[in-house]
Amino acid sequence: MLIGFQNQGNLGLGYLAATLRQHGYPVEVFDFEAKSEVLLGAALKRPPVLIGFSLIFQFYIYRYRELIDFLRQNGVGCHFTMGGHFPSLSFRATLELVPNLDSVALFEGEFTLLELVDHLSVGKDWRNIPGLAYRNREQVVTTPLRPSWRRPGCAPKWRFSTAPATASASATAAASISPLR
């Protein structure tokens, strides 16, 4: 399950969802602006292995914290991770401000998220996956960064589609990214 700002279509969420789908995982993408109860209902109805929160505007972090706390307090126990510019550059502050996060995905998140889901789905320890920051007792630890895949010749082929990739209650006609098969 992915949650992020959907107004005008969110390229980052599209890439993340497409990467998971390309590897066979069902993904639901929700609008951060949807009612918290709707997001909670979705998470309880079909419990995900992970909820990924996309924070692209840093001043939304307190609203994300509210939502994350609300989900935890209401019984959503899966792994919570967050990505985006601010969490990547200020992962310590992010983990401090949002104590219910399990991890932060640093920079380009496609393959970090995929590996996280791979590990969580089979109950494998995720703490050595590259591209992560997380709390270890009182300390924040980071794993080695991944090389960017956005290099000439490295990018997977994507198809840009206008069909919504989302089950969002309030998403507008969001564009989504789908992998070419």
Q: Give the footprint of ligand B12 on this chain (CB under 6 A).
A: 5-12, 15-16, 52-54, 56-58, 81, 83-86, 105, 108-110, 112-113
Residues 6+ apart with CB under 8 A from 153: none
User: Vertex 19, ends 73 and 81: CA angle to 5°?
Assistant: 25
CB of 148 to ligand B12, least distance (A): 9
Tell me the two tokens of residue 179. 């992998």
CB of 123 to ligand B12, least distance (A): 20
Minimum CB distance to ligand B12 smaller for 6 or for 94? 6
Minimum CB distance to ligand B12 smaller for 16 or for 34? 16
Tell me the two tokens of residue 177. 């990214």
CB of 8 to ligand B12, least distance (A): 4
CB of 152 to ligand B12, least distance (A): 17
Minimum CB distance to ligand B12 smaller for 112 or for 166? 112
Minimum CB distance to ligand B12 smaller for 31 or for 77? 31
CB of 80 to ligand B12, least distance (A): 9
Residues 6+ apart with CB under 8 A from 144: 130, 131
Minimum CB distance to ligand B12 smaller for 48 or for 109? 109
Strands (E), the chain: 2-4, 29-31, 50-54, 79-83, 103-105, 132-136, 139-142, 158-161, 176-179
CB 136 within 8 A of CB 103: no
